[in-house]
């Protein structure tokens, strides 16, 4: 096998002998590795980590597979895969199940991802609540909780909950390799800064650095709708779809767009702020300070006002109170139907621009679906140009209020599956 920095690599010796090797990238203009300077060692460790990540990704996204199947999926040599599986098995991150009977030749044993000790922590901070979900390497939810803010500073609740979750997971034998905070606002992921979150009254807040310093965790920050959309695509309502749009339903309204499994972020990372398109009541005051934003007409506060219900607890609890009122009062039910009409107008706008496989409604939209969806669906279908040829697929979230935190937990494990974080 040719060495990095050596001459021309040998040609494959026949069909089936080709090897897809991953090489650590060199800086532009760099020559061969400098022996004795640690460069070769770093490159080798980098390569090993990338190979381990390739096996982990395959197990997570494609499911269990024998060593031979993993070699085929990843393009790595079977011996390399064998060494990686052995190492991961010794540390409890994978195990080999019983051989599958009925296979010609010597049956292989499927490698199964377990990794219960490696955990990603997702935290969603909102005006009324802070939610947490912890997911292990195999995708199993290890912890899930929601804490109402109840007059406290949401930031304080966030930090307290992060510490509590880290402590509980550690006591249970887990290791939190990363935490992602999902925030309803404009997020600069590269700097870990919330540029603006109007409903939280946050501006240019270095959430990743601050929370990391206070908790000792490796913290990242992400938009809540993006996290929720990712969770629905991985384990919820849009599994297997090419493109989907998730619309949040809390105090604010935002959208997360997924294309081929990846979040669509836009040039500055601020894509999806559909709550601020000018639609609905032109005089309604939005949390951003402007009037006429869509979320001012269809957000949770607009619904509570229409129903004459006082906000209490989480959006889910408030929405249930609205549903109870609507079931007894036809005027309230009618007011919700009118909100559904405006909701449908916004959905039609999104569908006409993106033409997604499906639009998913989350948050408070789920418990109030019977009052909102008939008008929303009729309005959207009447305004989506492609309806006669490709009917709009409007779905409800399968993950409920925990979608954003679940997606944040998935994001927190990204480093492990990309090779950036060592196990």
Domains identified in the chain, total number: 3
CATH of the domain at 217: 3.30.420.40
- Evaluate whether residue 264 is within a structural domain: yes
Residues of the chain with pLDDT under 50: 1-37, 39
Same domain flag for 307 and 209: no
- Evaluate whether residue 324 is within a structural domain: yes
Helix (H) or strand (E) holding 196: strand 193-197
- What local confidence, expressed as pLDDT, does residue 42 receive? 56
- Evaluate whether residue 351 is within a structural domain: yes
Cβ neighbours, 10 Å, residue 341: 18
Same domain flag for 213 and 141: yes
What digits encode the pLDDT tens for the residues 107-154?
A: 789 999 988 899 999 999 999 899 999 999 999 999 999 999 988 999
CATH of the domain at 46: 1.10.10
Same domain flag for 244 and 269: yes
Same domain flag for 326 and 179: no
Same domain flag for 348 and 273: yes
Domain around 78: 41-96
Same domain flag for 124 and 63: no
Helix (H) or strand (E) holding 259: strand 255-259
Contact 136, 142 (CB under 8 A): yes
Same domain flag for 90 and 135: no
Contact 165, 143 (CB under 8 A): yes
Same domain flag for 264 and 328: yes
- What local confidence, expressed as pLDDT, does residue 311 receive? 85
Contact 93, 137 (CB under 8 A): yes
Same domain flag for 151 and 174: yes
Could you tell me the maximum CA-CA distance found in the chain, to the nearest angstrom? 81
- In angstroms, the CA 42 to CA 412 distance is 25
Same domain flag for 246 and 359: yes
């Amino acid at each position: 096998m040719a060495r990095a920095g050596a001459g021309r690599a040998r040609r494959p010796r026949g069909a089936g002998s080709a090897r897809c090797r991953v090489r650590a990238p060199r800086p532009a203009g760099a020559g061969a590795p400098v022996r004795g300077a640690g460069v070769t060692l770093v490159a080798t460790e980098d390569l090993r980590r990338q190979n381990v990540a390739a096996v982990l990704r395959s197990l997570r996204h494609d499911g269990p597979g024998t060593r031979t199947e993993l070699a085929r999926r990843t393009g790595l040599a079977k011996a390399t895969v064998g060494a990686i599986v052995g190492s991961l098995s010794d540390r409890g991150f994978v195990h080999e199940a019983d051989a599958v009977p009925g296979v010609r030749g010597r049956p292989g044993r499927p490698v199964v991802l377990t990794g219960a000790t490696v955990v990603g922590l997702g935290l969603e901070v909102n005006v009324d609540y802070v939610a947490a979900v912890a997911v292990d390497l195999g995708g199993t939810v290890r912890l899930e909780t929601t804490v109402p803010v109840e007059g406290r500073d949401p930031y304080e609740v966030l930090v307290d909950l992060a510490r509590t979750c880290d402590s509980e997971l550690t006591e249970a034998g887990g290791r939190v390799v990363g935490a992602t905070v999902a925030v309803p606002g404009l997020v600069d992921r590269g700097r870990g800064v919330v540029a603006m979150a109007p409903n939280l009254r946050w501006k240019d807040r270095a959430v990743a650095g601050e929370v990391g310093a206070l908790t000792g965790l490796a913290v990242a920050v992400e938009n809540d709708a993006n996290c929720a959309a990712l969770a629905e695509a991985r384990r919820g309502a849009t599994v297997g779809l090419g493109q989907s749009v998730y619309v949040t339903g809390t105090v604010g309204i935002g959208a997360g767009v997924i294309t081929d499994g990846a979040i669509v972020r836009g040039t500055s990372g601020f894509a999806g702020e559909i709550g601020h398109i000018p639609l609905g009541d032109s005089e309604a005051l939005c949390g951003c300070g402007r009037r006429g934003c869509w979320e001012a007409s269809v957000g949770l506060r607009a619904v509570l006002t229409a129903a004459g219900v006082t906000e209490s607890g989480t959006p889910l609890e408030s929405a249930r109170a609205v549903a109870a009122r609507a079931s007894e009062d036809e005027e309230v039910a009618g007011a919700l139907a009118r909100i559904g009409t405006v909701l449908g107008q916004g959905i039609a706008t999104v569908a006409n621009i993106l033409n997604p496989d499906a639009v998913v409604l989350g948050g408070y939209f789920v418990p109030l679906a019977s009052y909102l969806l008939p008008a929303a669906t009729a309005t959207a279908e009447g305004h989506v140009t492609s309806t006669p040829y490709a009917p709009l697929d409007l779905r409800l979230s399968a993950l409920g209020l925990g979608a954003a935190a679940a997606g944040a937990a998935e994001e927190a494990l990204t480093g492990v599956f990309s090779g950036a974080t060592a196990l």
